[in-house]
Copies of this chain bind each other. A is one copy, B any other.
Amino acid sequence: MRCVSAWSPAGLSGIFETHIVEDPLLTGARGAGLALKKGVTVTACESEQQGVKISISDGGKIIPTVSTVAKKLLSMFPGQLGVEIYVDVSVPIGGGLGTSGASALATALAMGRLLGLRLSYLDLAKIAHVAEVECKTGLGTVSGLVVGGVVIVVRPGAPGNDLVDRLLFDKDMKAIIGFFGSRSKPEILSSARLPLIDTVGKRLIDELIHERSLEKLLEVSKRFSLETGLVTESVKRAFRALEEAGIPYAGQTQIGDAVFTLVHDEQVDRAVGVLNNLKAKTIVSEVSWEPARLV
């Protein structure tokens, strides 16, 4: 059975401004966040059974997005073939860690190669982006995962139509994420609060773009979660506890019930201690300069 695997960083964003128009290739979000070394590995294998079969290591919430990508690519294959897809997710799903976008992108890369489709990286990333938009699981995530690093999506849209900048960070810095629970993204993205969220997001992203620094990214992320009311009680407590421990720069993963920060090595234990005390599931990861790719 021939198989191809692809990996994608997980990705979190601390701030966003949606940009939803008729064309899904121009739909997206401005925003900022991180690509993480912890992520998702997707293995796509030829199968004798027609159609697409999907198995996911942790929960099933992202199946619709992965399935949309897989069916789209299979429909472009000129012969008769079935595909089995195994998604191995090493971070929690539903916590604003970009698992749907990462899985969609890795699925597109693995299947593009497995089927020998003459599609480039951007062709495949566009298919993953459109699946995210259609399934309402994300808007700007794929843009960041195609680039890697600490990213600012300056112009929204599918990869190739977007514009992504990055921020420098010291080599000893680690991302710390405290995950409190799952949260439904489609609900918030369809809610009446969206115009307010976008107004706040636009103002703060403009501030960040004016002063492109890591501290500013974390500062506007925190203010975004507070000013939009997207902040959860758990994250609010985490902001306070981190501040008391001398870590004032932190944000909320959008749209999740999780807090994140980026600290130097000597502060890692302290940040983890604070989050463990709050009963968060705590993840420590380097930032990934590598984009999603075949492995």
* A residues in contact (CB < 8 Å) with B: 109, 112-113, 118-124, 147-149, 152, 160, 163, 165-171, 211-213, 289-291, 293-295
Contacts and interface: CB of A to CB of B under 8 A. Distances in A.
* Residue of A112, A121, A124, A166 ringed by the most chain B CB atoms within 10 A: A121
A114 to B, nearest CB: 10
A123 B211 CA distance: 12
Given A121-B167, A170-B294, 11 more contacts: A112-B168, A113-B170, A118-B211, A119-B212, A120-B165, A120-B166, A120-B212, A121-B166, A149-B291, A171-B294, A290-B290
Contacts of A165: 120-122, 160
A166 B119 CA distance: 10
Contacts of A291: 148-149, 289
Contacts of A171: 294-295
A120 B163 CA distance: 13
A116 to B, nearest CB: 9
| Nearest 10 Cβ contacts at the A-B interface | A121-B166, A120-B212, A122-B165, A289-B293, A120-B165, A289-B290, A113-B168, A290-B290, A118-B213, A168-B294
A137 B157 CA distance: 33
Stoichiometry, copies per complex: 2
B212 A123 contact: yes
A263 to B, nearest CB: 16
A124 B166 CA distance: 10
Contacts of A122: 165-166
Contact of A168 (B121, B211, B212): B121
A167 B120 CA distance: 5
A113 B118 CA distance: 40
A293 B109 CA distance: 24
8 contacts: A113-B168, A118-B211, A118-B212, A120-B165, A120-B166, A121-B166, A122-B166, A168-B294
A295 B152 CA distance: 21
A294 B160 contact: no
The listed residue with most B CB atoms (<10 A of its CB), out of A112, A124, A147, A168, is A168
Contacts of A213: 118
Contacts of A120: 152, 165-168, 212
A171 B167 CA distance: 29
